[in-house]
Structure 1
Amino acid sequence: MANTKSAKKAARQTVRRTAVNKTRRSRMRSSVRTVEEAIASGNKEAARAALKEAEPVMARTAQKGILHRKTASRKVSRLAKRISAMGGA
């Protein structure tokens, strides 16, 4: 347990920050899941729309330091590649 006043404050901040980061990470994962479900369903237009929604969420997540920026970029790139490889409309 924290002994000093500053350590106690740091512990409180960590709890708050962890909660915020969990929410942001969850939102990012949900948006990625939406894109992957659209890809799995074979609907290219829905997949494109979902990626358009997910990309800024992932960029924001990276900007906040929850996800490395290159990891976010790589994920967006791979999703876009999978969408472009889809057949149909």
Structure 2
Amino acid sequence: MANSKQARKRARQAEGRRVLKASQRAMVRTYLKRVIKAIQGGDHAEAMSQFKQAQPVIDRIADKDVLSKKKAARLKSRLNKRIKALAA
């Protein structure tokens, strides 16, 4: 455990950030699962609507540095690729 007052505060702050980021990552995973479920169901319109709901959430979480911007872009690109393949 931290010994100085400053280090104890840092530990408290780090724990708070960890908990918040964990819940935000879980929220992103939920949105991703909804899109994937629609894709696996074969419903292009539903997949597109779920994807449009997931996009701003992914971007917002990337802006907060919970996910890296590159990972967010990669996730969106892969989902979009699967939705386009579903339409064809």
Q: TM-score, normalising length from structure 1?
A: 0.94
Where structure 2 has 5 or more consecutive residues not aligned to the other structure, the ranges are none
The corresponding residue for 2:60 is 60
Report the identity percentage: 40
Distance 1:54 1:30 in 2: 9
The corresponding residue for 2:18 is 18
Tell me the number of residue pairs that the alignment of Structure 1 and Structure 2 aligns: 88
Match of 2:86, SS state, is: coil
Distance 1:22 1:78 in 2: 23
Distance 1:46 1:87 in 2: 12
Q: TM-score, normalising length from structure 2?
A: 0.95
In structure 2, give the amino acid aligned to 1:9: K
Match of 2:3, SS state, is: coil
2:12 paired with 1:48: no
Distance 1:25 1:12 in 2: 20
Where structure 1 has 5 or more consecutive residues not aligned to the other structure, the ranges are none
Distance 1:78 1:15 in 2: 32
